[in-house]
Amino acid sequence: MILILVRHGITPWNEERRIQGLTDVDLSAAGLDQVRRLALSLKDFPIASIYSSPLVRARKTAEIINEFHQAPLHLSSDLTEMNHGDFEGLTIPELMAHHRDFLRKWLADPASVGMPHGESFLDVQTRVWKVIEGILANSRNALVVAHNFTLASILCRIKNLPLAEFRSLCVDPASRTVIRFCNGSADIELFNDRPYLNGGQP
């Protein structure tokens, strides 16, 4: 079976380098354009079902992709982005300026160090992987639309990497990552692929 992982298109907060987490920020005009191009690149993929975070930036991405497929669309709160707690809404420069010591600790051990009044990365991976297990049990091609940390947690699990190495597996907005599962093994055929955003062929 094929599993396609998609990150939602960009939002105004992505453009401002602001931490959005569970904050329900919509796609920007540029994000909508990205998603329409992404949807065209996926129109000929055989997709039996689509799973999405219910946050509007992901849900809208999933709905636009699904215009070409009319597949069952399942919204799951387990696919939402990491709860960044007290850091929601801060810009990256603000985070670096005022919380550098915490960030050092978190980057060294994101699995167990939780965001203040939020989640740890392991919390995220645990809830997200429940959804992936259900998808794999169905053994039918599926597409998942989610978020930066959500998708990185899936890829860490698939590649059997510790969560502290997640930065090598982060994907860009409106990208697609294609994974083929066969006989208990997983092969990543495309990673963070998005030539369609620059006028390239799907």
Question: Which residue numbers are catalytic?
Answer: 8, 81
At residue 62, the 3 state secondary structure works out as helix
Residue 27 burial by CB count (10 A; 0-12/13-18/19+): exposed, middle or buried?
buried
Alpha-carbon Rg for the chain in angstroms = 16
Provide CB contacts within 8 A for 154, sequence distance 6+.
5, 125, 128, 129, 132, 144, 146
The 3-state secondary structure of 98-147, one letter per residue: HCHHHHHHHHHCCCCCCCCCCCCHHHHHHHHHHHHHHHHHHCCCEEEEEC
Contact call for residues 162 and 153 (beta carbons, < 8 A)? no
